[in-house]
Structures are given as structure tokens and as C-alpha cells.
Amino acid sequence: MTTAGDTYDFIIVGGGGSGAVIASRLSEDPKAQVLLIEAGGVPPPESAIPAACAGLQGTEVDWSFRDTSQDGIALGFEDQKMRLPRGKMLGGSTSINYMAYVRGHPGDYDSWAASGAEGWAYKDVLPYFKKSEDFVPSRGVKVDKGKHGTQGPYKVTNRKKPLASTESFLKGCERLGYTIGDYNGADRATAPLGVVGHHQFTIKNGKRCSTYVAFLESVMDARKNLTVVTGAQASRVIVSNGVAVGVEYVTASGSKSATAAKEIVLSCGAYQSPQLLLLSGIGPKAELAAVGVECLVDSPHVGKHLKDHLYLPIPFAMEAGTALGPLASSLGLTDDKTLFEEYQSTGEGLPATSLYDASVFFNTGVSAENKHTHDAQISWIASAYNPDFYEKCMGIKDFSEHFHTETMFNFEEGTAILLPQMIQPQSEGEVTLSGRDSSSPPVIKHNYLTAEADLKSFIATCKTSIKIKEEMGKKEKMGEVLIPKNIAKKHGTDLTSDALWEAWIRHYAVTVYHPTSTCRIGDVVDERCRVKGVKGLRVADASVMPNVPAANTQAPCVMIGEKTAVMIAEDNQVQVPLDPAPEGAVEMKVSVKKSTGSYVRAASNFLKGMEAKPAAEGREAVEAKAPVEALRISGLGQSINAAISAATAAEAEGLCTITRIQTTYPMLQGASGRSGACAQVVIDVKRK
């Protein structure tokens, strides 16, 4: 029996990369009653230590899903099933991942828009990336400051003191023609061969900054209008007469329900958002009938088009790499606690990142379908980690028999890993139900490498990894590539052999933990993430991505959360208070009375110290005797686009940096005396 609960304005299911953001943003309006339902709990203390991230896999804070594809993949894994870790706690997979902050190639988002996802082009989503970000780069690291935010809650940093082996990787890539730069900046699209850079991490003072830490931890108890229920797994969305009206969920004390007066948002990720839709009767009619679920909305694409990235670890000895002894000591796993205590007191040292410290992005040229973006990523891991990474996390069968463990895990001799990744797959998988029971895991079939172009791209990326290693070897003392013994026995050691690479990939390639597109925009949801066929229901997470971006998906998921929160607020007149203007800022109010071009010129003139016309609605022209240091540009209703154009044009001209974008819904009184809420955008810029 289900116990009926309270009524809220908004119910968000899933407190992960997108859901935590939405719950936090909507509850900024004290009048909005928000319920967040999360199956897990608060992250354990060890989640905070970046280098301990792999140790969370396979524990109670991991959903521990398995891929059930059986053809040509995971041949070297136990039961031939790839392990698919997902975070089961507040922050979701941002509390279990490797913390790399990568937005993707501008072409990824422009291709979304071109496919019909209106409002999701790069120029549309960039403000939402910047809105959440608080970027503090390390000295000496190349950064495109104009493409980063500095006022958001999501801390983004580099390793304070780059490791020597990481610097060697960057320089080796540079000698091969890749541009050292900011992969989240203009370099991502303009670097001729590709861009290589130090990883930007969601890490603050040496500790993980998940979406739980950034968006929820400080407000969960402080906001009376935000209710967070943990240990609660949603079992179905309650739909009545075509409207989503509530959510049923299961806790240790039994089945309960909550009612939504305005909207329900599913943010359960690319595996579980489609699962919950299917359990609620929204999906392919024949599939639902096969498991005994009544079909309320025949939506054939729910759970389809599953995409993901794959990686292949290539280990070797390296004098400048990290040996297992210092790594274990820095994590407090040996009798000598000196390095661990140093990390705890300073936030610096080996544990201060996941050791997944840099990447190069480029296009292999294998497929014309990927010409708009990068289809390859090669990352640098400054250690071969430890045996648990391969046996527990990856699930490799007979690991000690097939791998060179005596070299990979030497306590005194350094090691490293090159990590080629295939990041623009054409292969598609699916998520289906195993039955009507919500506690049963979904059936996940990725169908990795079923498209011929994926294997070709992957092999080309692996071969480029060897070129990078050879180039590094001209300056560094490095050992041979440690090809798995069973692969070398059958295919030899010629690293130019396609057959060797195909065998290695099909045995030991593994997910990069980036599943997407199972509720994609255009098929399952519209461009505002509203579920087609059901009112009052949205999906907002990686599942709505029209295609997987050439990026680690954490940053795009946070962006989706930010953008969806604004769309929900717009549609429901949620009033979010504005942050105060920067000290000394000049205000420029944009209206429909003047052309967009006039406001673009006005913003430019203000920042140059020239006469600005129009300076503001209802004001005479203002002559600025000196360039203004800060400018607040605001637009109301139909003038929003003009305000955004004025700010972005000034930034593109190199005059300023956009530091904050806010959306609010002030109550206005019209000439008739009737009042109502209207969307308003407020943009703060700082002169360069």
C-alpha cells in the first residue's frame, strides 16, 4: 500500500549532475516548494579525496550496472559483461567520477541545434556553462578567460603544481603539432590539428566539488522550501488524464507518494530516466505490453539511441611517472603517513586530483559524419594505479595471469597510462525493462563497436597514442608498452597492426562512464525538455542529449540543469532574487524601443569610454569620461535577446568578460492595472 504524502510545486527525481542544480535553482525562490527525491544518501567522506575515486566503484554508493551486449566486446571481462558504474548518492556520478570539467567542441552543440534542438547551439548554451562556474586557474596554465565564469557555485581548478610526467605529455603533443591551450576555450575549435591541455577539475582546495557540494550542501537545511528525501527510489510517475501529477517512491519504511502542483522533473541519468518513463507507461507500446506495463503514451524512442565513449588503458614504465609506493603512501595506505598528512593540511600532493591530469582532443579523419567535432581524446594518467582498478573497477578476468603486474605495480619504479578514447560513436544501444519491478535494474545493451567506423576511429586513436609515447620517449626514460600477454601471444607485439589493436580493444576496452541520448530532444522530449504526450513532466540529464558530445559529460549535465531550471522558472513564473550589481557598475537597461544594434554599440562605447547612445531606457545620452569598469545589462521580456547580444558582442570584441548571467521574474503592473510576472535577464560584464 502506498502512503500519500505532501504536495509540492516541483518534484525533482534524482539529485545528480542535473537534478541537484535544478532543485537548488528553483528553491532560490522562497515561495517555490521543491521536493528532491534521491535513492542514495550523502556522499561518504572518502568521496572527497580525488585520487580515491576509483575505490568508490562497486560499493554501496555505486548502482553497479552491467552491460549485457555479448558480441565482440568485453571479451576479457568476467562473464563478458562490462561494468557500468553510476553514482548512487547526492551529486550522483559527480560524486564518484574523475572530476574532469570538459564542455565539448562548439560543433557538438551547433549540430544539436541543426538537428532540430532549437536553443541548444553553442552560443545558446555557453552562458549556462559560465553561470555555474567559478574558475580559478593555476599559474602558468593557458586559459581563455573570456570563456569561463567566476561567480558560480561550481569550483573549477587545475592541479596547483603540475606533475613532471604531465608536462612531458603536453610538450610531446606540442612537438607533434597539437596546440597547448584551453580545451574549454576558443582553442577547441581553432587549433589546426587539435588542442592539448591540463585538465580542469571540479575540485576545491584539493577536495571534490560535486553538485552536492556546490549546489545542495549549504542550502539543504537552510531553505525551508527545499525538502530532500534520501534513500528513496522512485517507482513510477503518476499520470492522470495526460498530466503528471505525482511520484511514487519506495523507502525503507514502505511505498510513498508525493503530489506535484506544477511540474515533475526526471534527472536519473541515461539509464534510469528512460527506465522510470517505461515503468510509468511511457515508451514503446509493444515493449511495455511484453512486461505487463499499461501503455499510457506510445513513445517509441524511449530508451533508444544509447551512446557512450570507450577507453583503452595503455600502461608502461616511466621514470618520471608515479610508483605505487608514493601513491599508496599519499592516500594513507602505508605506515608512513607523511604524504597523506601533507595533503590533508595543504590540499596539495598526489591525491589532489584523480591523476587523470591532461588530454589532447583531435579528429582522426576516419568518418565524414564527425567532421564538425573531435572524434578522439587521448588522456594522460600519471600512474598505472593499483590492481583493484583493473580487477574490481573494470572486472578483468584472470588479470594477474594476462597483465604485467610486476612492472605496472612496482612500489619504487614509476609508471603511467595513455588513455585513447573513442568519443564520437555511431553505434547505438538501448535501455529496456527487465520486468515491472522498479527495484530490478534496467537491461542495458550498448552495442559497442557495431558500427564499423567506431572501430576504425578507435584503432587510429590508439596508434596516435603510440606516436605520442614515442615522441615523449625522445626526452624521457620510458619502458615498452605493456601489451596484455594473451593478446601478444596471439597477435605479436607490432603496434602498427590493426589486428592487434582490434583484439586488445575487444578484450579490454571499457566505458568512460558517459551514457547519453536515451530520451533525446526531438524524439522523447521537446527543445524545452518537456516529455511529449504528457503535461507537467520533463527530463533533464544526459539522456536528453541529441548526441553524445566530444566531452566528459559532467559539465554538459550541469549546463542542462542550469538551462532547464531557467525554462521551468520561465514557464511557472518562479521569482529568483538577483545578486547585487558589482560595485560601481553602470546600468544599461535594454528595451524594445531601440534596435538591437544600437544597444550593441552602446555597450561597446561604454566600455571604450565613448559617448553611449542609448545609455539606458528613459535617460538622455551619457558621455563616459573614462571607460566603465563594470556594466550591468538588463533586458525584460522581448528585449532579452537584445541584452544578450549586447553583452556577447562586447565580449567577442575583446572589451569585456561576462561574469554573471541571472534570470528572474519580477512582478509588473500594466497600464490596465493587472499584474503578472515577466522574464528578465541581467548580465554583468567586467572590462578587460
In this prediction, residues 509-519 reach a mean pLDDT of 97
Confidence (pLDDT) at 680: 79
Amino acid sitting at position 378: I
Please give the CATH superfamily to which domain 586-687 belongs: Alba-like domain (3.30.110.20)
Q: What's the rounded Cα separation, in Å, for the pair 116 and 101?
A: 26
Lowest-confidence range among 176-185, 482-491, 595-604?
595-604
Backbone phi, psi, residue 622, to 5°: -115, 130
C-beta of residue 610 within 8 angstroms of C-beta of residue 653: no
DSSP per residue, 147-192? G--BSSSEEEE--SS--HHHHHHHHHHHHTTPEES-TTSTHHHH-S
Q: What's the rounded Cα separation, in Å, for the pair 180 and 257?
A: 52
Domain boundaries, the chain: 1-125+199-306+513-573, 162-193+310-424+449-508, 586-687
* pLDDT-above-90 percentage for the chain: 74
All three cell numbers of 509, joined, read: 576496452
pLDDT in tens, 282-332: 999 999 999 999 999 999 999 999 999 999 999 999 999 999 998 999 888
Backbone phi, psi, residue 26, to 5°: -65, -35
The answer to whether residue 207 scores a pLDDT higher than 60 is yes
CATH architecture of residue range(s) 162-193+310-424+449-508 = 2-Layer Sandwich (3.30)
C-beta of residue 110 within 8 angstroms of C-beta of residue 372: yes
The answer to whether residue 11 scores a pLDDT higher than 50 is yes
More confident residue, 576 or 208: 208
Q: What's the rounded Cα separation, in Å, for the pair 307 and 377?
A: 16
Q: How far is CA 383 from CA 310, 391, 513, 570, 592, in A?
A: 19, 16, 20, 47, 58
Confidence of residue 484 (pLDDT cuts 50, 70, 90): very high
Q: How far is CA 582 from CA 579, 628, 633, in A?
A: 9, 12, 12
pLDDT in tens, 97-143: 999 999 999 999 999 999 999 999 999 999 899 999 999 988 889 99
DSSP per residue, 367-398? -GGGTTS--EEEEEESB---HHIIIIIS-BTT
Confidence (pLDDT) at 227: 97
* pLDDT-above-70 percentage for the chain: 94
pLDDT in tens, 62-79: 999 999 987 899 999 999
101-119: b or e for each residue (b if 16 or more CB lie within 10 Å)?
Answer: bbbbbbbbbbbbbeeebee
In this prediction, residues 475-493 reach a mean pLDDT of 97
| Among 406, 274, 409, CA closest to 328 | 409
pLDDT in tens, 539-548: 999 999 999 9
Question: ∠ at Cα 201 (581, 314), nearest 5°?
Answer: 160
In this prediction, residues 354-362 reach a mean pLDDT of 96
Backbone phi, psi, residue 490, to 5°: -90, -35
pTM summary value: 0.88
All three cell numbers of 591, joined, read: 528595451
Q: What's the rounded Cα separation, in Å, for the pair 678 and 373?
A: 37
Confidence (pLDDT) at 675: 46
Q: What's the rounded Cα separation, in Å, for the pair 415 and 340?
A: 20
Confidence (pLDDT) at 621: 37
Confidence (pLDDT) at 645: 87
The answer to whether residue 612 scores a pLDDT higher than 60 is no
In this prediction, residues 42-69 reach a mean pLDDT of 94
Confidence (pLDDT) at 677: 54
Q: Do domains 162-193+310-424+449-508 and 586-687 have the same CATH topology?
A: no
Confidence (pLDDT) at 607: 84
The answer to whether residue 417 scores a pLDDT higher than 90 is yes
Confidence (pLDDT) at 674: 46
Confidence of residue 578 (pLDDT cuts 50, 70, 90): low
In this prediction, residues 193-203 reach a mean pLDDT of 97
pLDDT in tens, 420-474: 999 999 999 999 999 998 889 999 999 999 999 999 999 999 999 999 999 999 9
C-beta of residue 4 within 8 angstroms of C-beta of residue 238: no
| DSSP classification of residue 334 | S
Confidence of residue 676 (pLDDT cuts 50, 70, 90): low
The answer to whether residue 657 scores a pLDDT higher than 90 is no
Q: Which residues contact 134 (CB under 8 A, 6 or more apart)?
A: 149, 150, 151, 152, 153, 154, 155, 156
More confident residue, 580 or 272: 272
Q: What's the rounded Cα separation, in Å, for the pair 107 and 306?
A: 20
Q: What's the rounded Cα separation, in Å, for the pair 443 and 447?
A: 12
Which helix (H) or strand (E) segment holds residue 208: the answer is strand 207-208
The answer to whether residue 600 scores a pLDDT higher than 70 is yes
All three cell numbers of 326, joined, read: 608514493
Topology given in CATH for the domain delimited by 1-125+199-306+513-573: FAD/NAD(P)-binding domain (3.50.50)
What mean pLDDT is reported for the chain?
A: 91
The answer to whether residue 507 scores a pLDDT higher than 80 is yes
Tell me the pairing of strands 510-511 and 537-539.
unpaired
